[in-house]
Amino acid sequence: MRKAAQEEKAAVPALGAAIRILRHLSLVDSARAYQIADELAISRSSCHGILKTLVEGGLLGFDRKTKAYFLGTALIPLGTLAAERDWYVRVARPFLREWVETTRLTIFVARLLPDREFVVIDMMNSSQIIKVTVSVGQTFPVTSPAMGGAQLAFMPQGDAQRMIRSSGSEPLDRETAADIEAFLAELPRIRKRGWAASMRQYYRNANAVAAPVLVDGQVLFVLCSLGSVQDLPIRELDRLGPEIKRVADRISQEIRRAIVHGIAV
């Protein structure tokens, strides 16, 4: 308990605010200083100083005409290097390509961050002309039914419950209020079958299936495939759910093999 309190105390507030600003600007095209400060509940004076520092470092850009801030070009090589050096992603990429070629559905890799959001770290979009797409860096709440189910079902029950109940008012379904108890009740079933599904719940006109990539019982990341209700109808979920689990299991095997043979780079 004391150690946790010390770690919390050791956190640097300004750095935490800078991270929140970068994450916020990844979700919008641009924003003015007062808008960022008010949205993130940061004092305007502190926010201004952090923004100025980020601009000087090239992590943010500033439009003098509109007085708006946006993500800077210095982030581009950093993001590219991060993706290239994540060898888990490199292991998964051929399997993503195979999935798209076989199903013609978008598939992506998502990792749960400490702030209880998933971030897309790699993706391969559908080959169809009209499709549901995602972008690297895009975030989703932990209560997203497919991804959240695939992650939380394989966590200790108490941890999963605390994470869900403390996730705020973010709805499981954009049309209705969150049904936390129903989500919790579904987790044992997801764990038993090894995959989770979303039926027009997060995206109104799309369905999804997801499965965890597990190594030594830990979820490294989640695979999620989605498509429009026409391309991925509900009747197909029971077929593609086990399929995406098999893909996740194959990736897990490749990662374990790389670790055992010391070829992880």
Closest-CA residue to 214 (of 63, 88, 40): 88
pLDDT at site 8: 43
Cα angle 155, 23, 133 (rounded to 5 degrees) comes to 75
Specify the CATH number for 2-75; select among 1.10.3210.10, 3.30.565.10, 1.10.10.10, 3.40.1550.10. Answer: 1.10.10.10
Tell me which residue of 124, 122, 133, 123 sits closest to 231, measured CA to CA.
133
3-state secondary structure of 199: strand
Task: Return the C-alpha torsion angle 169, 175, 181, 185, nearest 10.
Answer: -130
**Closest among 206, 228, 220 to 254, alpha carbons compared:** 220
Confidence of residue 52 (pLDDT cuts 50, 70, 90): very high
| 139-167 residue pLDDT tens | 888 888 899 999 999 998 888 888 877 76
pLDDT in the model for residue 74: 82
Fold observed for domain 86-260: Beta-Lactamase (3.30.450)
Portions of the chain given CATH number 3.30.450.40? 86-260
Task: Average the pLDDT over 76-91 and give the result.
Answer: 69
Q: Specify whether the CB–CB gap between 140 and 103 falls below 8 A.
A: no
Enter the pTM of the model: 0.70
How wide is the angle at C-alpha 108 spanned by C-alphas 104 and 113, nearest 5°?
165
Provide φ and ψ at 14, rounded to 5°.
-65, -40
Cα–Cα distance measured from residue 126 to residue 226, given in angstroms and rounded to the nearest whole number? 9
Residue 4 pLDDT more than 70?
Answer: no
Q: How confident is the model at residue 178 (pLDDT cuts 50, 70, 90)?
A: very low
- Cβ–Cβ under 8 Å, residues 260 and 224: no
User: Are β-strands 218-228 and 206-215 bridged in parallel, bridged antiparallel, or unpaired?
Assistant: antiparallel
Residue 83: what pLDDT? 57
Please enumerate in sequence order all residues whose Cβ is within 8 A of that of 41, keeping only pairs 6 or more positions apart, or say none: none
What is the Cα–Cα distance from 117 to 142, expressed in whole angstroms?
5
DSSP string for residues in 99-152? HHHHH--EEEEEEE-TTSEEEEEEEE--SSSS-----TT-EEETT-HHHHHHHH
- Full strand arrangement of the beta sheet holding 117-124: 139-141, 117-124, 106-112, 218-228, 206-215, 196-199
- Evaluate if residue 131 carries a pLDDT over 90: no
Checking if the pLDDT of 193 tops 50, the result is: yes
Q: What is the percent of the chain where pLDDT is above 70?
A: 86
State the Cα angle at 25 between 23 and 27, rounded to 5°.
80
Mean confidence (pLDDT) of the chain: 84
Amino acid 28: pLDDT = 81
pLDDT for 27 equals 74
Give the residue range(s) of CATH 1.10.10.10 domains in the chain: 2-75
Q: Is the pLDDT of residue 252 over 80?
A: yes
Angle at which helix 234-260 crosses helix 87-103, to 10 degrees, equals 150
Lowest mean pLDDT among 64-73, 109-118, 187-196, 210-219: 109-118
pLDDT at 81 over 80: no
In this prediction, residue 177 carries a pLDDT of: 36
